Structure 1
Amino acid sequence: MAQRTKHIDRRYHFIKDALQQGIVDLVYCPTKEQVADIFTKALPKDRFNYLRDKLGVVSAQSLKGSISV
């Protein structure tokens, strides 16, 4: 077996075993709902704002005036 693909086989078997033992449950997540995209892709503004809201992150501009110093 090629050394560079060995880690892929280990991960696959680890996940397969965890599924069979009921330790983890894999749930389908549509591409449209992949919140990790905000960290890995350049996105249009509306898509970025949608994912940011799903993460519960607020714009710094929305905080303006919310704290008095």
Structure 2
Amino acid sequence: EQATERAATAGNGNEAAIEAQAAGVEQRLKDLVNQDGGENWAKIRDEMGMAMEEGCGIYRTPELMQKT
């Protein structure tokens, strides 16, 4: 009930501030995409995911956690 009332009475916030923040995030993403370097981010992400799953997943042991 309170959430519904709050949502109904709340404004949209400061649109200029939100747009400035979004523009900043967009620029940081563009900078990341356009940076020099030969590493493939998707490959790094996948390798990190596998390491976390193997070493710190549901079936973890101290030995596997130390290995990764």
Structure 1 or 2, whichever has the larger Rg, is 2
- Normalised to the residue count of structure 1, the TM-score between the two structures is 0.31
> As a proportion of its length, which structure holds more helix?
2
- Normalised to the residue count of structure 2, the TM-score between the two structures is 0.31
